[in-house]
Amino acid sequence: MEPLLFLSEYDAELKPLICFKWNEKHGDGFEDANQEFRRYIMNYIFENDQLYISKELVSDLFLAESLWAKEAWCVYQKYHLIGEKLLRSGGIQYIDDFLEGAFSSFDTYCSCRMMNLVDYNISNLIYELKNRIKEATDPEQKKRYVNGIELFKLFIEGDPSEGIVSLTGSVKVQNIKEVRYNIFSKILNKLKR
């Protein structure tokens, strides 16, 4: 499908073309059947920034890439651009979607710290999140709002990308071992107290 046609006709019926469609494998076996088309659409959006893009599409792209990042154990190099676009176009209306994606993994969080929000009114977002904390009943949602405030404060206080390094190219990940908190660690920590 042509990108301009896709952008102009985007609705819930077209969402399956960009959603995260994972084969449930990691490493070399990892596949997302929609990754190529989704990135094609995202790159078209980045290259044609003056086009009207529906907020729903921007949100759906951001959330699909967030799921991709969580399972791929890395993040698309332009992820922060779609996050920035979601904040700029969706604002407070889409803040829950933004926070869900931004905090879905360490990689998505770090990438969001690369956004360029110099001329964006971050204070309004922080104000809104503080109000939502008061009304939220779900502890996870409250935690996400608190984390969102901390993230946005980084943009006010200085350079949020400080300390963030982006690796590009082919970085082979191998010999991964899962570290689990075990009973021995628990006992050792009690003895230290």
Q: What is the pLDDT of residues 48-89, one digit of tens each?
A: 988 889 999 999 999 999 999 999 999 999 999 999 999 999
Per the CB < 8 A criterion, the answer to whether 145 and 99 are in contact is yes
What is the DSSP secondary structure assignment for residue 174, as one 8-state letter? Answer: -
pLDDT tens digit sequence for 144-170:
999 999 999 999 998 898 887 777 766
Q: What is the mean pLDDT of residues 7-25?
A: 95
Q: pTM for the whole thing? A: 0.85
For residues 58 and 125, what is the distance between their CA atoms, to the nearest angstrom? Answer: 18
Q: What is the mean pLDDT of the chain?
A: 89
- Token representation of residue 110: 């770090």
Q: What is the mean pLDDT of residues 8-16?
A: 95
End-to-end CA distance of the chain: 62
The full set of domain ranges for the chain reads: 3-192
For residues 120 and 88, what is the distance between their CA atoms, to the nearest angstrom? Answer: 8
